Amino acid sequence: MHIRTGLLCLLLCLVPLRAAAEDVLLRSSSLLPAAYDSYLALNLKLPPQNRTLPLVGDRGLRSGGQVLRHLAGQQAVNGFDGVLYDNRDHGHSSLPEELFPRLDRLVYDKTLRKARADYGLAGKILLPAVVFGNSSTSVTTGPAKRSLPRLAMTSPGGPERSAQLYENNHLYVYPEHRDHDETDRFPANWPYMLISQGSSGSDQPFLAALAMTLAAFPPDTFAALRDNRLIAPTLQMILRRGYAPVRSRAAYFTAIAHPVVFEGDALRPGRMMGEAAAMRPDAIPPMVRLRVEQDGFGEAEGLARLSERLFDTEGAIARIWRNFDWSREITVSAAATRDPNGRTLTFTWALLQGDPARVRIEPLDPEGSRARIRVAWHDPKTVLTRDRTGYHNRSLSRVEIGVFASNGVHDSAPAFVTVFFPDHQKRVYATSGAGGMRLVSVDYDAIGRDAYYDPVLFWSAPWTDRAEYDGAGARTGWTRIGHDGNTRTLPPEIGEGVYQIERLQPERPYLIMP
């Protein structure tokens, strides 16, 4: 008897204990077609947490995990129950397993890997779980090079799929890779993902912070957020509220809390975990839902008669300025926003980026659930910014308005209304005889000036058009001054049906390096 017991103990001691949670296999046979050319994964089951494994590994303590360990010792926390990590760059910048041994990881079957469903921008597959992930990849070849976030913003269906992920408890991190250096090239701001300043590996601090914040929620709060599909908006709020420069509630309604791209060294995981641990299920914040009521931006504007409506989603509305007018107007409603616990909501509309003298926000009801927004033309603006490598000048060409809902306990993550200006054009406006502002000329020759423009959204032509007006201020035509020396007189409707613009599409993403 004693010999058998000793032998059994010896055999058990020789069997290596698993040092990490199980992989969760996604099979192609479980996918069901869904909206926006995406798929819903059925029958994907996450195993129960293996509580014999530590919540935070020894290496994770250096990333702030000691706070999570302390919280877990003081109160019940959700841990990683129901949470799935999705790496989408074949391990190029994967969250190390030893940081959080209990965290389950998604793997794809052979068919899905062959179809590259496990690589690059997320959005094609919705998973029945709380998901966070990353991909340190970018489109690095061809004339339409861009980061994955800009790819999502400018590709057909990209905004809708990104919004769908956000509204189904998925949040991904992507590097800005050369889209936010000397020039901010993003045509919009939105809450649907997190964008890290830098290239490969810059996403790692965000992944660790998200993992620990998810683990710090009390189980009942996590369940309420999950069931109301508010995990991603709440993570966005917590990260922004805990961002290093944000020291007060008033600062939360300013640009410092809501940049299009975040600095990894300005994250404060300890603050984030504290906020999550203190959140009660009866006070979880809502998600702002926007709708355009009246739109002064058109479907066929400017010389090339292109749409100014980049996208309309509930968490972000984005416009591109193509029209020749000095100012535009749009009326937006957030009245469809609902608090998950039925609390009364009040709304804040904050100008986050843009000239206050050229943007007017007029609330249309006492709660502020609707607003009329008037925006005048903005030339590119250069601002001095600071990151971990020092001070830099950065050119900006976007107006941003953040919309927030407060339930009396928490402020929501922002929804955004943005207007992107064609910064590669050189426009001149001047005062008209009637006292308003009108266009004088447009220089379209971005290529000749060696000015960058996004070929998916814009175009370049080797001429300047000068507007001509009659005594009443009506535009009567144009004088086209070619950069080859030729001059022509053209009618006022020159753009209509005249120009065919080649709309480029980005190629596949590839690995990026620092």
* Cα–Cα separations (whole angstroms), residue 441 to 321, 384, 430, 444, 499: 15, 29, 10, 10, 19
Structure tokens at 66: 């000691």
The number of domains in the chain is 3
Residue 7 counted as domain residue: no
The answer to whether residue 499 sits within a structural domain is no
Q: Mark whether 118 and 35 lie in a shared domain.
A: yes
Domain co-membership, 116 together with 191: yes
Q: In the predicted model, what is the mean pLDDT of the chain?
A: 91
Same domain, 235 and 122: yes
E-state strands within 209-282:
none
Residues 243 and 380 in one domain: no
CA distance 446 to 513: 29
**pLDDT over 60 at 77, yes or no:** yes
Q: Has residue 128 got a pLDDT over 90?
A: yes
Is 11 among the domain residues? no
For the ranges 383-392, 394-403, 427-436, 468-477, the lowest mean pLDDT is seen at 383-392
Q: Report how far residue 59's alpha carbon sits from residue 81's, in angstroms, rounded to the nearest whole number.
A: 21
**CA-closest candidate to residue 94, choices 135, 139, 126:** 135
Do 449 and 332 fall within a single domain? no
- Residues 300 and 438 grouped into a single domain: no
pLDDT tops 50 at residue 230 = yes
What b/e string do you get for 322-338 counting C-beta neighbours within 10 Å, with b at 16 or more?
A: bbbebebebbbbbbebe
In angstroms, the CA 260 to CA 160 distance is 18
For residue 117, being part of any structural domain is answered with yes
Domain boundary among 404, 420, 436: 420
Confidence grade of residue 14 (pLDDT, cut at 50, 70, 90): very low
Retrieve residue 85's tokens.
């990590």
- Where is the domain boundary, 397, 420, 443? 420
Query: Under a CB-based contact definition with an 8 Å cutoff, are residues 171 and 231 in contact?
Result: yes
Which of these, 106, 129, 95, lies nearest to 207 by C-alpha position? Answer: 95
Last residue in a domain, options 420, 452, 469: 420
- Domain coverage including residue 335: 291-420
Q: Does some domain include residue 156?
A: yes
Instruction: Specify the 3-state DSSP secondary structure of 352.
Output: strand
Q: Measured between alpha carbons, how far is 466 from 9 in angstroms, rounded to an integer?
A: 89
pLDDT of 414-447, one tens digit each?
999 999 999 999 999 999 877 799 999 999 999 9
CATH code for the domain of 398: 2.60.40
Band (7; pLDDT cuts 50, 70, 90): very low
C-alpha span between 496 and 447 (Å, rounded): 23
- Specify whether the CB–CB gap between 421 and 428 falls below 8 A: no
Residue 2, pLDDT > 60, answer no
Confirm whether 135 is domain-assigned: yes
In a domain, 38, yes or no: yes
- Write b or e for each residue in 442-461: b if 16 or more Cβ atoms lie within 10 A of its Cβ, otherwise e: bbbbbeeeebebbbbbbbeb
The average pLDDT across 176-201 equals 95
Amino acid at site 423: D
User: Across residues 199-228, what is the average pLDDT?
Assistant: 97
- Residue 498: band (very low, low, confident or very high) from pLDDT cuts 50, 70, 90: very low
Residue 55 lies in a domain: yes
pLDDT of residue 500: 47
DSSP 470: -
pLDDT at 288: 98
Q: pLDDT at residue 121 above 80?
A: yes
167 and 52 in one domain?
Answer: yes
Question: Per-residue confidence at 335, pLDDT binned at 50, 70, 90?
Answer: very high
